[in-house]
């Protein structure tokens, strides 16, 4: 079975519930709703459809809400502007004259300094700040071209004073919490404070929804350790990150961030243009295949599809391709012992981590076919997964919310199970393993539980069960 999780973004190509079910059958575990683009009707339809499918199939489905964040954009330019390399151009936040670039973010004049770099239209055009005086910034065109309205602006050498949560984001968070999304992805994170600000809103609403920190700003790279520590999961968002830093640095940063997340037991997602050619073509390129495989070999918990499943011509084929690549990469990892696991975790800090490590090691030494874990909040399950056992992890919980959250965690098959004793849990979860053809008579299973059922933090038993 596939252990790496697949995130599929919903959009016009996948809004039909029948397509959603095909994506699940193809290997999708988590569904992303991009709040930068979706209308109210589209958001309502997607969440309602997924919950109906979940209820009918009796299997948890995780929903990831991706916030727009404070994107800085060029204003309206009626006929566009030709930026000529070597010439000067003026950007302004008010009182636009002909030939000037209007900017929607008024704080840009205060944020940039002389000598700073300004990138426009996903980095296609580059300006250098020569001088500034409110409300205008005089720049030199380093790389020119034809600029049109509403293009994005990146400030890779400046510190932006905009908060990570815009007014729109706060409204979207309220909507997401009211509709019980499972993860909220925070865009343009700069530091731990951004995550704490979102967590305060979540807590005030009486929820504990998990927060994913999207790494796409140069400040986030500088503060990566504190961000990983505070976030529940991390996304390497290579689109804007590749504008903020040198493109040549992106693969190296990806490896470094994955390694740090593995060491801390935090799920890590690799995203952006993983199968971009499949937006238009039915098969992937060799380079894309290598990209996905290498992300998995580096230790990614999940890989994400964006345009491929939201607006592409072949959404189901894209998920199937990703699943096939993932399974081949995982198979090579285990066959050659090139796996992330014990070596990635330098220090054990809790009983839960020690149990996770021991269970994974036991399963390996005894060639167990499955690890079965009873969990109240999913913590022990995550600590088993971080050691990348060779066999699947069946995680049983009383709570649908926890089962949904575990859909993002590497190697985990989450199930909502009603049981009152450890013995009953063992019997029912073994039946699940048999129904999935994971075990047969004579096989071994590693069982993890607590002495008392449903007690958070009470996991203290590991045993080997001969089936």
With 0-12 / 13-18 / 19 or more C-beta atoms within 10 angstroms meaning exposed / middle / buried, residue 322 is: buried
d(CA 226, CA 366): 38
User: For residues 256 and 259, what is the distance between their CA atoms, to the nearest angstrom?
Assistant: 5
The neighbour count for residue 148, using CB atoms within 10 Å, is 13
DSSP letters, 297-309, are: HHT-SEEEESHHH
Tell me how far apart the alpha carbons of residues 396 and 421 are, in angstroms, rounded to a whole number: 13
The whole-angstrom separation of Cα 48 and Cα 264 is 34
Q: Which two tokens stand for residue 399?
A: 């709570």
Q: How far is CA 19 from CA 16, 246, 325, 428, in A?
A: 5, 37, 21, 32
- If we measure between CA atoms, which residue out of 418, 407, 365 comes closest to residue 382? 407
Residue of 214, 217, 369, 388 marked active site: 214
Spatial CA neighbour of 250 closest among 197, 289, 291? 291
Confirm whether 32 is a catalytic residue: yes
> 449's torsion region: left (phi>0), alpha (psi -120 to 50) or beta?
beta
Catalytic annotation present for 375? no
- Nearest-angstrom CA–CA distance, 313 and 310: 9
Alpha-carbon distances of 274 from 131, 165, 237, 261, 270, rounded to whole Å: 40, 27, 11, 20, 8
Give me 369's structure tokens.
């076919």
Q: Which of 73, 117, 168, 444 is catalytic?
A: 73
CB–CB of 67/174 below 8 Å?
A: no
428 as an active site residue: the answer is: no
Residue 308 buriedness (CB in 10 A; 0-12 / 13-18 / 19+)? buried
Select which of 4, 209, 272, 381 is catalytic: 272
Paired residues of 214 in beta bridges: 235
CA distances from 115 to 91, 155, 313 (A): 15, 12, 44
Cα angle, residue 177 at apex, residues 172 and 178 outer, rounded to 5°: 95
Q: How far is CA 261 from CA 61, 231, 380, in A?
A: 24, 10, 16
The one catalytic residue among 3, 5, 9, 32: 32
Q: Is-catalytic flag, 58? A: no
For the annotated catalytic residues, the residue numbers are 32, 73, 214, 272
């Amino acid at each position: 079975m596939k252990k790496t999780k697949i995130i599929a973004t919903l959009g016009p190509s996948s809004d039909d519930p029948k397509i959603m079910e095909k994506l699940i059958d193809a290997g999708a575990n988590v569904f992303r709703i991009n709040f930068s683009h979706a209308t109210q009707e589209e958001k309502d339809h997607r969440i309602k459809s997924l919950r109906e499918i979940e209820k009918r199939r009796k299997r948890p489905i995780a929903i990831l809400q991706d916030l727009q964040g404070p994107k800085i954009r060029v204003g309206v330019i009626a006929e566009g502007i030709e930026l000529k390399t070597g010439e000067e151009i003026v950007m302004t936040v008010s009182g636009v004259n002909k030939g000037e670039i209007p900017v929607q973010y008024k704080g840009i004049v205060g944020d940039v300094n002389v000598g700073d770099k300004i990138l426009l239209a996903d980095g296609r055009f580059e300006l250098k700040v020569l001088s500034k005086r409110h409300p205008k910034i005089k720049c030199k065109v380093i790389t020119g071209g034809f600029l049109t309205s509403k293009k994005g602006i990146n400030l890779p050498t400046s510190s932006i004073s905009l908060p990570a949560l815009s007014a729109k984001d706060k409204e979207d968070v309220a909507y997401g919490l009211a509709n019980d999304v499972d993860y909220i992805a925070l865009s343009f994170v700069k530091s731990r404070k951004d995550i704490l600000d979102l967590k305060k809103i979540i807590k005030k609403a009486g929820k504990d929804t998990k927060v994913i920190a999207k790494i796409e700003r140069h400040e986030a790279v500088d503060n990566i350790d504190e961000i990983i520590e505070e976030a529940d999961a991390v996304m390497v968002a290579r689109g804007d990150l590749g504008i903020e830093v040198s493109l040549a640095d992106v693969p190296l940063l990806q490896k470094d961030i994955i390694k740090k997340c593995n060491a801390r037991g935090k799920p890590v997602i690799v995203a952006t243009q993983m199968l971009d050619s499949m937006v238009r073509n039915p098969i992937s390129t060799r380079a894309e295949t290598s990209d996905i495989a290498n992300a998995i070999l580096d230790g990614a918990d999940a890989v994400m599809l964006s345009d491929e499943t939201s607006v592409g011509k072949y959404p189901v084929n894209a998920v199937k391709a990703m699943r096939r690549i993932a399974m081949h990469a995982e198979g090579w990892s285990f066959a050659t012992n090139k796996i992330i696991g014990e070596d990635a975790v330098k220090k054990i800090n809790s009983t839960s981590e020690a149990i996770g490590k021991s269970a994974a090691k036991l399963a390996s030494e005894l060639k167990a076919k499955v690890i079965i874990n009873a969990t109240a909040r999913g913590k022990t399950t995550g600590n088993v997964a971080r050691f990348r056992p060779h066999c699947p992890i069946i995680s049983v919980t009383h709570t649908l919310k926890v089962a949904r959250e575990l859909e993002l965690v590497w190697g985990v098959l989450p199930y909502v199970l009603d049981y009152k004793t450890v013995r009953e849990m063992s019997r029912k979860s073994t039946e699940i393993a048999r129904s999935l053809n994971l075990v047969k008579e004579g096989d071994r299973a590693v069982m993890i539980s607590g002495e008392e059922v449903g007690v958070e933090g009470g996991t203290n038993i590991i045993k080997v069960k001969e089936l």
